[in-house]
Amino acid sequence: MEHNFKILIADATHQDFAKIICDEMESSAMARGTGIAKRSPDYIQQKMREGKAVIAFTEDGIWAGFCYIETWSHGEYVANSGLIVSPQFRKSGLAKQIKKKIFELSRKTYPEAKIFGLTTGLAVMKINSELGYEPVTYSELTQDENFWAGCKSCVNYEILMSKERKNCMCTAMLYDPKDHYEPEETQQDFTKHSKLYERFMRIKQWKLLAPFLKHHEPGNNSGKSGNGGSGKSGGTPEGAKRHRSLFHSFFNF
């Protein structure tokens, strides 16, 4: 069944939907076996009042999806967080529409900010690539302690910290308004390498999980977890045009 959606910039009139949004975010994270920075209904309502969120409804007024903006490092970085689609409207293309709307709102509100995201899903990576995001290492993300503190509620937080915040199960993606490829280029690159990216995601997750699976094996009382590799990430000269590839993100084990 096809649905037509209305995607609006949220405001104070939408505050009654905050509780159902938070509940759905938590339920979805549990189903995926991953974690997100837990937010309270009060926090979601604040984003609505500030006009830093988008909300989707069916033509009949049924809530369908949501996403909000967060800023880090004094506005230098922006994250489009908490993307959620009601289960009954998933696989309808709504997530892509919401991402596009919140990206446009972010660009308008914070035109100089770098927009980034972390995801374990290939589908979200595809949507991001269509907007001009590129895969990057964690070192290119905000180093704001408040942002990373939000990862504490994730089941993979131990992995993140064992890698000194240089890698984890999520893939980092970034849109830099001052240094970026055109969306057509990033989309073409993703389409060309999508099968390879999926394979690398599986390898990456296996490599990151392996030390912890060994750590929790019966009879293993060492209390230590593996940390294979130095986790060093390559840099580029300041101002130089960076050719970002998903591959260097994966090999930062």
Higher-pLDDT residue of 166, 44: 44
Distance from chain centroid for Cα 101: 16
Backbone angles phi, psi at 134, to 5 degrees: -130, 145
Average pLDDT across the chain, whole number: 81
pLDDT above 90 for 74: yes
pLDDT above 80 for 168: yes
Question: What residue ranges do the domains of the chain occupy?
Answer: 113-250
Higher-pLDDT residue of 28, 65: 65
